[in-house]
Structure 1
Amino acid sequence: MALVNKVLIIGGGIGGMSAAILLSRQGIAVDIVEVNPQWAPDGAGITISGPTLRGLREVGVIDEVLRLGGSWRAVDICDMNGNVNATVPIASAVGADDLPGAAGIMRTTLADIMGKATRDAGARVRLGVSFETLAQDGNGVDVLFTDGSRSHYDLVIGADGVNSAVRKHLMPDFAGPKFTGQGSWRAIVPRLRENSTIYMGQTTKAGMNPISETECYLFVLDKREDMDFIAPAQWPRMLAGLLEEFGGAVGEFRDGLLDRSLTDHRLLYRPLAGHMIDGPWHKGRIVLLGDAVHATTPHLASGAGIAVEGALVLAEELGRRHSLEGALIAYAGRHYDRARLVVTTSARMGEIEREGGSREEHTQLMIVAQQALRQPI
């Protein structure tokens, strides 16, 4: 007999959709609500590490991700003018030798793939809706939704992101994510190389990761004092200033920034924040997933990956345990160390970049973390 028969997932991001697909596959009735009526994330590219590709294969969407995205098995390390100084192979995840070392895709494309798979799995999706109140007892959770409807569930999963409203309900004293002192810039540019490319300037590092056969997304992290809002009209000028020292392809992109409309490159800026919450990640029949408990910066390209892995572990434990409490404790116990590795390593890498610290330590942190994440979950 299943531990739960009816589950509500609050939040339609990659973690929530992965959980919906996996639990529906077990024969569980799944409702998923997403407050965004368009079900559309920010329109930037996303890097998908080898372990994340392995996870997406278990979810069942890997073929479409590789068909519509871009992938690579090596990184070209270039100087500021685009001359290649080294090419570093990227190993596949353990148990996934047939998959590339990494891939990239537009977030909107990934959301479309995952959304279709969620509905095809049988989950009931409601957009533009969230919860108003959650009231639980030993038998389940009564949910009042923002559209006035009500329903009863055996389990509620809060997968509603870094500023999770479900987390505020469960953990009202948690202060929320902490700003890291960096901001992330992204833009869409033509794909010029087969591999991922890192351009090393004297004070800035820029990268280009393929997201399709013809496009890459360019990414730059910069040092910032606060999370103050930056008007999109200022983004081209500010990004051009960050890229001032580069020549080659990056320099050509910079020179065109101020001469083209903003939509040509689909620029995106966001301040970086993160947190890691100690277990347990549940109270009674309400449990948190993904960014709600472990939000990370993009230094290891694993934020989406640990959300997917969290969904895999949660679904596995719900499918094999004899008590709901045991399943939810085991979920956090199995997933905590990998999530913490990503969050803390990424935070330290950001500190080194912000402070102009040791490149050797930065590289070693990345290597150790990637080797650990390649191992089976």
Structure 2
Amino acid sequence: MSAVRNVLVIGAGAAGTAAAILLAEGGVSVDLVDIKPDTGALGSGITLQGNALRVLRRLGVWEQVRAQGYGFDTLGLRAPDPNGTLVAELPDHRTGGPDLPATVGMYRPALARVLLDRAAAAGATVRFGISCTELEQDDTGVDVTFADGSTGRYDLIVGADGVRSWTRRRLGIDLDTTGVGMGIWRTFTARPASVTRTDLFYGGPCYIAGYCPTGEDSLYAYLVEDAQDRSTLSPQESLGVMRDLSTAYHGPWDDIRPLLTDPSRVNYTRFESHVLPAPWHRGRAVLIGDAAHTCPPTLAQGAAQALEDAAVLAELLLAADRLDDPLWQAFTDRRYVRAKTVVDASLQLTRWLLDRERGDVPGLMARIAHLVSEPA
């Protein structure tokens, strides 16, 4: 018998939707709510490492991800010279196992749709455009009031509501989310034939210039610069900045640049980071995903770690017969150090770039790949 009979999951990103799928499949009544009006999240593409794919297979959506995304097994390093010279082609680690690609790129809203459809098929009730306004716990459950005036009582609340989590604040948890000194331009466009994997350019006017194929006909491209206020730029001006910055990069970038024509596809965000000290629960509420830990995407592990949170939490809840200290200790033991290690490594890569220091990037990446190759 599961430790919970009914659960409210707040936040329909990767972590929340994965938790909803696994709990609903296990016979738990699940309500999944999100303040956003729909799945059309701002963004472009997402990079899914092998350990993320391992969880997606467990969720029953791997075949759809494979069909809609773009898999590859190598990473290219290129120079910011007039030819975009390929400096190295590195075999990437298949951290999800030998039968899964090392990496899949995918259009982010497409992944969201696949996961949400799976959650609904598993039996979860999904509601968008709704938020929580009150949350009151006692020894046996949690009473929740929603913005539309409706109420519910649940055995457990799962706060998967992102970096600025309402759930975290409502639980009285004070957590500093800090900028790391970098901002990133992202765009989504057509894929030229010259792009068949992620290539990274280090140096030039940007810290990183890269791209990732997200399908047979699509990719997302990104440029990482010093963090600055870009909020006053119009969409057309933002497109112009991204195009101008990209002119320093060649090779496949010369094929991508003419395709950067749609201002609505360009967005800019700053890198931020935090790790919530253990434990991540307060009574009958627990935080997962970006609500508990977030980091710059220098290792492309954000989605993977969020999915792992959800998988471990659901496994423990379905195997136990009550919420108690041993269950929460097991969750902490399996998630805290692993997630913090990934965050720390992502920040180390960021510091090396900011300081123009030649750190042991391949060694660091190999250590993290070894860590996440073992199931969480």
Write the distance in 1 (CA, Å) between the matches of 2:232 and 2:368: 32
Write the distance in 2 (CA, Å) between the matches of 1:151 and 1:252: 53
CA contact (8 A) 2:195 2:252 kept: no
Residues 1:194 and 2:193 are matched in the alignment: no
Distance 1:354 1:227, change over 3 A: farther
Residues 1:316 and 2:315 are matched in the alignment: yes
Residues 1:104 and 2:105 are matched in the alignment: yes
Instruction: Identify the residue that residue 84 of structure 2 maps to in structure 1.
Output: 82
CA contact (8 A) 1:179 1:227 kept: no
User: SS at the partner of 2:215?
Assistant: coil
Q: Aligned-pair distance for 1:209?
A: 1.0
Residues 1:297 and 2:300 are matched in the alignment: no
Residues 1:338 and 2:341 are matched in the alignment: no
CA contact (8 A) 1:287 1:328 kept: no
Listed one character per residue, the Cα deviations across residues 290-315 of structure 1 (whole Å, up to 9, x for unaligned) are 10000111111110111100001101
More displaced stretch, 322-331 vs 346-355 = 322-331
1:256-335 mapped onto 2 (5 Å cutoff): 257=260, 260-263=261-264, 266-325=265-324, 326-335=326-335
Instruction: Identify the residue that residue 150 of structure 2 maps to in structure 1.
Output: 149
Distance 1:261 1:139, change over 3 A: closer
Write the distance in 2 (CA, Å) between the matches of 1:362 and 1:171: 38
Structure 2's unaligned 5+ residue stretches are none
Write the distance in 2 (CA, Å) between the matches of 1:87 and 1:21: 37
More displaced stretch, 297-306 vs 84-93 = 84-93
Question: Partner amino acid for 1:104?
Answer: G
Q: Percent identity?
A: 34
CA contact (8 A) 2:95 2:369 kept: no
More displaced stretch, 15-24 vs 199-208 = 199-208
User: SS at the partner of 2:313?
Assistant: helix
CA contact (8 A) 2:183 2:228 kept: no
CA contact (8 A) 1:179 1:226 kept: no
Instruction: Identify the residue that residue 21 of structure 1 maps to in structure 2.
Output: 21
User: SS at the partner of 1:104?
Assistant: strand
Give the counterpart of 1:244 among 236, 239, 247.
247
Instruction: Identify the residue that residue 93 of structure 2 maps to in structure 1.
Output: 91
CA contact (8 A) 1:8 1:31 kept: yes
Instruction: Identify the residue that residue 373 of structure 1 maps to in structure 2.
Output: 372
Q: Aligned-pair distance for 1:159?
A: 0.6
Structure 1's unaligned 5+ residue stretches are none
Give the counterpart of 2:225 among 208, 222, 227.
222
Question: Partner amino acid for 2:197?
Answer: N
Give the counterpart of 1:212 among 203, 212, 215.
215
Query: Number of aligned pairs?
Result: 370
Output the TM-score relative to the length of structure 2. 0.93
Listed one character per residue, the Cα deviations across residues 228-255 of structure 1 (whole Å, up to 9, x for unaligned) are 6654332122223322322333245446
What is the RMSD computed on CA atoms of the aligned residues?
Answer: 1.9
Q: Aligned-pair distance for 1:43?
A: 3.4
Write the distance in 1 (CA, Å) between the matches of 2:228 and 2:61: 39
Q: Aligned-pair distance for 1:356?
A: 1.1
